[in-house]
Homo-oligomer: A and B are copies of this chain.
Amino acid sequence: MISGKNYIGNNLSGLNSKTYTTFNPQLNQANKEQFYEATPKEINEAVLLATVAFESYKKIAGSKKAEFLNSIADEILALGDLLIETYCKESGLPEARANGERARTIGQLRSFANLVEEGSWVEATIDTAQALREPAPKPDLRKMMLPLGPVVVFGASNFPLAYSTAGGDTAAALAAGCPVIVKSHPMHAGTGELVASAIIKAAEKTGMPNGVFSNLNSSGIDVGVQLVQHPQVKAVGFTGSITGGRALFDEAVKRDEPIPVFAEMGSINPVVILPRALEVDSEKWAKTYAGSITLGAGQFCTNPGLLLGIKSAMLSSFIQRLSQEIVKIDPTCMLHPNIYESYKKNKQTSFSQSGVEVVADYSPTVNNNYAKQAVVSVDGATFLKNTTLHHEVFGPYSLVVQCDHAKELELIIATLEGQLTGTILTDTIEAKDYTDVISALSNRVGRIIFNGVPTGVEVCPSMQHGGPYPASTDSRFTAVGVHSIKRWIRPFSFQDWPNELLPQELQNENPLQISRLVNGNHTRNKI
C-alpha cells in the first residue's frame, strides 16, 4: 500500500497540505496516489534522527550492517508484483526492464553486504611504534576509514530502483556506516515509498537505530536545497541533470562547512570511429549503434550521443546504414511527458543549427510520449564553433561529426567537456597510429571502451562510473561498484591508542581476519 507519506525514520508522516501525483506516460494520465511534500519540520526531524542514529550506527559491526543490507534486498523482493507494477506505471518502462533493474539493485545491495561482512574495505593501515628510533621515538599509528555522517541521496529519474531509493548511492552509504535521507524522485514517488518501506522493515528487523533511513517526498527543488543546507548533513549523492547537480553542488560549497557532493550528471559519450572499423565491420557497427542509441528510449547516462569519424566514402556509407537501421526500430515510451517534451525541443534545436544535416528522423505516428529517434550529421568545423551541438539531447538521438582529418578529430576531442565514457572502434594495429587521439580521449573520460558500446554499466570493482566535470562533480570517485563506498568515508588515525580500546579492525589480534597494511606489508596475520 502506498500512503503518499514521508518516512521520517521509522514513522510515516504527511503534515503538508501540498500534495502531488506521479504520471503514467504509457496511458498519458496521472496516477491516483497523492504524495505529501515534506515540510521544513519533517526535513529537520529526519536530519536530527539521522544525526542521533549516526552515533550508534557508525559503530555497528560489519556483519550486522551486512545483515541489514541483505534484509533490504529480501524485503524489496518481498514487495513482489506491486513493486514491478508501480515501477512500470510511474516510468513507462517495460516489465522486463523493471525485473532487470530490480535484480541489479538486489545484486548491488548484496555486493555491499559482502564487502562489509568481509571487512577489509576499511583500508586498515598500521605502523607500529619504534621506541628506540633516532632522533625521536616513533609512535604507534593505526588508520582506518570511518563514515562521514548523514548522507542525502537524490535518486535518478531513469533508474527508479538501481540509482534511487535503495540504489547504489544508498547502498554504499549504508555500507559505509552513514545514515541516509533520500529525497525521493517525484516521477516515481510510489516506487520510492515502496522501496523505503522495505528499507524501514529491514532496519526494524535487524535492530538498526531509528533514523538510519528516511524518505522525503518533494515535487520541486526546495526540499533538496534545505537538505543540502542542513548543518548536520555531511555529504550528498546525486544522479541527474547538469543543471540539477550543479545547483546542489553550488549550495553545498557555499555552506559555512562545505560538504562533498558526488553528482553523476550528463554525458554525450563520444564514440570515435576509425577507418579500419568501417572497412571491416561497417554494417555490424551500424546495427549495433542503432540499438545502443535507442536502448531504453535513449535514456541512459551512457547513451552514445556523439559519433566522431574522418570524412570518407566509408563514413558516408556508415551514416547511411546507421540511418536505415535506426528507423527500423520501434520507438518506445519516455519516462514522463516533461522529458518527452524536452527531447522534442532539444532535437528541434539541433535540427535547426546551421550546417546540421538530418540523416535519420523517424516519421510514422506513434503513441503519446514515445520518442522518435534521430541522427544528424555535421562537419568538424561546424561542431567546433557551435557549442550548442556539444550539449546532451536526452533521448534516442546521436550526432555524427565528420572531421577533415585526424588532427581535427583530436582537437574536437580535446575541446569536449568531461564525459563518463569514450569509445574507439578500430583494430589493434590501427590504434597504434592514433595514440594522440586515444590519449586526448582518455583525458576527457572516466571509462574507455574498445570496439563496443558505452551503454551497459557493469557493476564490478573495476568499473569507473564518473569522469571529469560535468560527467561528475568529482572525477576521483565512482558511482558504480563497491569502490563507490569511498565517497562516504574518511581516513582516521589512532595514535598510541591502547589495544583493547581500538576498533576490532585495528587490534593486534586482527579478530576479523581482514587484510591490513602492517608496517608496509599486506597481511591478514596478527601483530
Contact string, A110-151, partner B, CB cutoff 8 A, digits 1/0?
Answer: 000000000000000111000000011011011100101100
| Interface assignment of A95: CB less than 8 Å from any CB of chain B | no
| Bound: A55/B439 CA distance, A | 8
| Interface assignment of A446: CB less than 8 Å from any CB of chain B | yes
Q: Which parts of A402-442 form the interface with B (CB within 8 Å)?
A: 417-418, 428, 431-432, 439, 442
A447-B495, A448-B493, A476-B490 known; A461+B258 contact, CB < 8 A = no
| Interface assignment of A357: CB less than 8 Å from any CB of chain B | no
| Interface assignment of A460: CB less than 8 Å from any CB of chain B | yes
Q: Which parts of A458-476 form the interface with B (CB within 8 Å)?
A: 458, 460-464, 466, 468-470, 473-476
- How near does chain B come to A329, taking the closest CB pair, in angstroms? 19
Number of copies: 2
| Interface assignment of A517: CB less than 8 Å from any CB of chain B | yes
Q: Are B501 and A428 in contact (CB under 8 A)?
A: yes
| Interface assignment of A504: CB less than 8 Å from any CB of chain B | no
Contact string, A240-258, partner B, CB cutoff 8 A, digits 1/0?
Answer: 0000000001100110011
| Bound: A417/B432 CA distance, A | 53
Q: Are A463 and B141 in contact (CB under 8 A)?
A: yes
A253-B253, A428-B501 known; A446+B496 contact, CB < 8 A = no
| Bound: A452/B129 CA distance, A | 13
Q: Which parts of A499-525 form the interface with B (CB within 8 Å)?
A: 500-501, 515, 517, 520, 522
| Bound: A486/B456 CA distance, A | 28
| Interface assignment of A206: CB less than 8 Å from any CB of chain B | no
Q: Are A138 and B476 in contact (CB under 8 A)?
A: no
| In the complex, residue of chain B having the shortest beta-carbon distance to the beta carbon of A252 | B253
Q: Which parts of A475-502 form the interface with B (CB within 8 Å)?
A: 475-478, 483, 486-487, 489-498, 500-501
Q: Are B126 and A462 in contact (CB under 8 A)?
A: yes
A418-B257, A498-B428 known; A443+B491 contact, CB < 8 A = no
Q: Are B495 and A446 in contact (CB under 8 A)?
A: no
| Bound: A100/B135 CA distance, A | 9
| Bound: A452/B67 CA distance, A | 39
- How near does chain B come to A280, taking the closest CB pair, in angstroms? 15
| Interface assignment of A337: CB less than 8 Å from any CB of chain B | no
- Which residues of chain B are within 8 angstroms of A445 by Cβ–Cβ distance? 492
- Which residues of chain B are within 8 angstroms of A469 by Cβ–Cβ distance? 257-259
- Which residues of chain B are within 8 angstroms of A461 by Cβ–Cβ distance? 125, 127, 143, 517, 520
| In the complex, residue of chain B having the shortest beta-carbon distance to the beta carbon of A145 | B476
A456-B136, A458-B141, A461-B517 known; A448+B490 contact, CB < 8 A = no
| Interface assignment of A381: CB less than 8 Å from any CB of chain B | no
Q: Are A494 and B428 in contact (CB under 8 A)?
A: no
- How near does chain B come to A475, taking the closest CB pair, in angstroms? 4
| Interface assignment of A275: CB less than 8 Å from any CB of chain B | no
| Interface assignment of A225: CB less than 8 Å from any CB of chain B | no
- How near does chain B come to A496, taking the closest CB pair, in angstroms? 5
| Interface assignment of A451: CB less than 8 Å from any CB of chain B | yes
4 new A-B contacts at CB < 8 Å, known A257-B418, A476-B489: A127-B460, A249-B258, A428-B501, A446-B492
Would you mind naming 14 contact pairs between A and B with Cβ atoms under 8 Å apart?
A: A55-B439, A138-B458, A138-B460, A139-B458, A141-B462, A257-B417, A257-B468, A257-B469, A446-B490, A448-B497, A452-B495, A462-B517, A468-B490, A476-B486
